[in-house]
Each structure stands twice: as structure tokens, then as C-alpha cells.
């Protein structure tokens, strides 16, 4: 799930961009755990880097960037995610993919497990148990709902992307960001900022740093965000054509939602499915947008939530068993569609 963040309100206490050597908001966050994290990364000789289930470019970009650095330092490294069984096609040009292993090939015991862009342990799916068998665990993330489930937690809730947190970590570590690392970090930055719409002071400085290594930012963005098969268009027609607006929901702010039934999604990739929320959320009459995605023709629904400004959908998602960011979150629900929608309306009216 691509989970962009809305910018934080500007206050006079925020440092100016020129104060940030890193070029990212992450650089302004104090975190005493950063030094401990670097010690853990330096001393581990075997490391598993875990990305979240249904991986997006932020978790994969973060995982492969960190994995590549560790591999160059001589560590044995595996990078993995629990589901689905293969990497989304849009990410098949990312450097460092040789580090990826299938979920069932992930080492049982390593010195260190690092999780990237996972707000909670359950976002690791079946690979969550690797946290228990490792000597230590390090959580690197930017979700405000992060549950701090690692031995050491580097969680910068104001960072644009987890790759921005990784960039800051590499700077503190003294690791030079070359073109391959920049490609990976840019992949997470461009997707989690919605192509630099949800930006803040420092976001473009980090982008500039990464682009200055010679990477082709336009190509990376097009490959990750703007490439769909023709079948995407009739799916959009069917799904958007049955979208529903509930003006009274969310205490009068309005809810718009669309449903992607399994039959609508046949033959389409996660890239096409995940694109729908970005169209639905533009509806001017609704503060909150939702897309309900049926799983395997059954009664389980993965729900993506977005809000414009007022509603904290992270809290709404948490109340329904999920998590995320203030303006972008998600959860999984089981039951009849009408009941799932009713439960969402209920959670929105009490938020």
C-alpha cells in the first residue's frame, strides 16, 4: 500500500531547510536510538531485512538500500517480504534485487533483523516470527502509528518516507549515497510523497541530492507510478462508476467510497488496484475517501483510507485493527460489504 503523508503544519519552531545537512525533515528529529542502530548494523555479520506485506516502493527501496550497504560491508544479507510471492512488476528495475529471497528461504536465526516501513509486527505477515529468533531487532519507519516493536526503534513520524529516514541514517553512519542507493531512496521518496505533492521543507533538497548522483528521476517515477496495462481503464470505469458518496458521514465532512470486487481485479496487478484510491480521494464533496478491496472473491476486505485535512484516519484505522498516517491509513475487515461500510461510518462518526 502506498501511504503518502500530508505535510505538517508550519510553525516557527521548525528548523529552516538550510539547517538540515541531510536535506530531509528526518534530519531534524532527535533520536538517541540512531547511534544504537548504527552500532547494531556495524556489529552484525548476518542480517535479515524485512519489508512489509503487499510491499510498496518505500519498503522495498528502504530494504534494498540498507541491504546493499550491509552487503558491501561484508555481512550476509537477505531481504524479504511475506506476501505476495513475487515483487510487484513496477519495481523490477530497482538495484540490489539479488538480495531478495522468497519468504520460505529466510534464515531462521540471524544476528539482526531490521524491519523497514512496517508500522507494526503484523505488517510483516508470516515473517514476524523472525523477530523472536534474532539476537536483536531494529525497527526503521515513519508511521505515526508505529508500535515500537523492535529492540531499538528509529521512528521519525515527520519523515516523508522511510527512505528519507534511511538517507539520514546513512549520513550519520558516514556512508556515501551513490547512484544505486539514490535510485532506491528516490523510489520511496517519489511514491510516498505522491510525486512530490505531499512535501515539506527539505523534501526537495533530499530529492536534489539523490538526482545529482545521475539517476533518471523521470524514468523511475514513470515506471513506478504512471505505467498501467490497457485493462486498467475498463476496471477504473466499472469501479469508479459505482462509487458512493455519503455526505452526512464523518460528522458531515462526507465519505466517498469505491469497491473493487475480485471480479473487477482479474488479471490486474497490485499497481492497478492501489491506484484507485488516488482518484477517489480527489472528490471535493468528501473529507474522507475509502476503497474496499475484496480478497479472493471472499468476505475479507482490505480498506484504504485517505483524508484531506481534518480527520485523523490513522486513529480510525487503528480503531478498526489497522494503522497508518494521519491522512493515509488502512485496515482489514471481514464480513458482508454493507456491514463493513457501516462499521467504517461508525468509526468515522466517533473520531
Residues that bind Mn ion (CB under 5 A): 58, 117, 162, 192
Its sign, for the CA torsion 8, 10, 14, 15, is positive
User: Cα angle at 206 between 204 and 211, to 5 degrees?
Assistant: 90
Nearer to Mn ion, 58 or 287 (CB): 58
Nearer to Mn ion, 164 or 250 (CB): 164
User: Nearest distance from residue 69's CB to Mn ion, in Å?
Assistant: 19
User: Nearest distance from residue 154's CB to Mn ion, in Å?
Assistant: 14
Task: Give the number of C-alpha atoms closer than 13 A to the C-alpha of residue 124, restricted to the C-beta side.
Answer: 28
Contact criterion met (CB below 8 Å) for 83 and 106:
no
User: Nearest distance from residue 304's CB to Mn ion, in Å?
Assistant: 14
Residue whose CB is nearest to Mn ion in the complex, by number: 58
User: Nearest distance from residue 63's CB to Mn ion, in Å?
Assistant: 11
CA distance 326 to 344: 16
Nearer to Mn ion, 145 or 294 (CB): 145
User: Nearest distance from residue 191's CB to Mn ion, in Å?
Assistant: 8
CA distance 120 to 307: 21
User: Nearest distance from residue 252's CB to Mn ion, in Å?
Assistant: 31
Nearer to Mn ion, 189 or 235 (CB): 189
Nearer to Mn ion, 192 or 287 (CB): 192
Nearer to Mn ion, 254 or 324 (CB): 324
Question: Cell digits for 169?
Answer: 541514517
Contact criterion met (CB below 8 Å) for 162 and 185:
no
The beta-strand segments (E) located in the chain are 46-51, 76-80, 112-116, 136-141, 152-155, 244-246, 255-260, 288-294, 300-307, 323-324, 328-334
CA distance 242 to 260: 10
Of residues 185, 123, 115, 125, the one with CA closest to residue 152: 115
Amino acid at each position: 500500500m502506498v501511504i503518502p503523508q500530508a505535510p505538517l503544519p508550519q510553525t516557527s519552531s521548525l528548523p529552516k531547510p538550510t539547517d538540515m545537512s541531510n536535506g530531509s525533515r528526518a534530519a531534524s528529529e532527535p533520536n538517541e536510538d540512531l547511534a544504537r542502530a548504527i552500532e547494531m548494523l556495524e556489529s552484525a555479520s548476518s542480517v535479515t531485512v524485512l519489508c512489509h506485506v503487499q510491499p510498496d516502493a518505500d519498503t522495498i527501496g528502504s530494504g534494498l538500500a540498507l541491504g546493499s550497504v550491509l552487503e558491501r560491508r561484508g555481512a550476509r544479507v537477505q531481504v524479504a517480504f511475506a506476501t505476495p510471492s513475487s515483487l510487484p512488476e513496477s519495481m523490477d528495475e530497482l538495484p540490489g534485487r539479488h538480495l531478495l529471497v522468497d519468504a520460505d528461504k529466510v534464515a531462521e536465526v540471524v544476528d539482526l533483523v531490521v524491519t523497514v516501513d512496517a508500522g507494526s509486527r503484523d505488517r510483516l505477515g508470516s515473517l514476524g516470527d523472525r523477530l523472536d529468533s534474532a539476537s536483536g531487532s531494529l525497527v526503521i519507519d515513519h508511521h505515526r502509528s508505529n508500535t515500537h516493536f523492535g529492540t531499538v526503534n528509529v521512528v521519525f513520524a515527520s519523515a516523508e518516507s522511510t527512505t528519507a529516514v534511511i538517507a539520514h541514517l546513512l549520513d550519520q553512519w558516514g556512508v556515501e549515497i551513490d547512484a544505486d542507493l539514490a535510485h532506491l531512496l528516490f523510489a520511496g521518496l517519489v511514491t510516498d510523497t505522491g510525486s512530490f505533492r505531499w512535501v515539506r521543507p527539505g523534501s526537495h533538497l533530499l530529492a536534489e541530492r539523490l538526482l545529482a548522483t545521475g539517476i533518471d528521476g523521470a524514468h523511475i517515477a514513470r515506471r513506478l507510478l504512471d505505467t498501467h496495462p490497457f485493462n486498467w481503464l475498463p476496471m477504473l470505469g466499472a469501479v469508479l462508476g459505482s462509487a458512493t458518496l455519503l455526505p452526512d458521514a464523518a460528522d458531515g465532512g462526507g465519505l466517498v467510497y469505491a469497491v473493487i470486487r475480485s471480479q473487477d481485479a482479474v488479471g490486474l496487478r497490485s499497481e492497478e488496484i492501489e491506484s484507485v484510491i488516488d482518484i477517489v480521494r480527489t472528490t471535493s464533496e468528501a473529507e474522507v475517501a475509502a476503497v474496499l478491496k475484496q480478497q479472493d472473491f471472499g468476505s475479507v476486505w482490505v480498506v484504504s483510507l485517505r483524508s484531506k485535512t481534518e480527520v485523523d484516519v490513522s486513529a480510525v484505522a487503528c480503531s478498526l485493527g489497522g494503522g497508518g498516517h494521519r491522512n493515509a491509513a488502512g485496515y482489514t475487515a471481514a464480513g458482508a460489504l454493507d456491514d463493513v461500510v457501516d462499521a467504517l461510518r461508525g468509526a468515522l462518526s466517533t473520531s
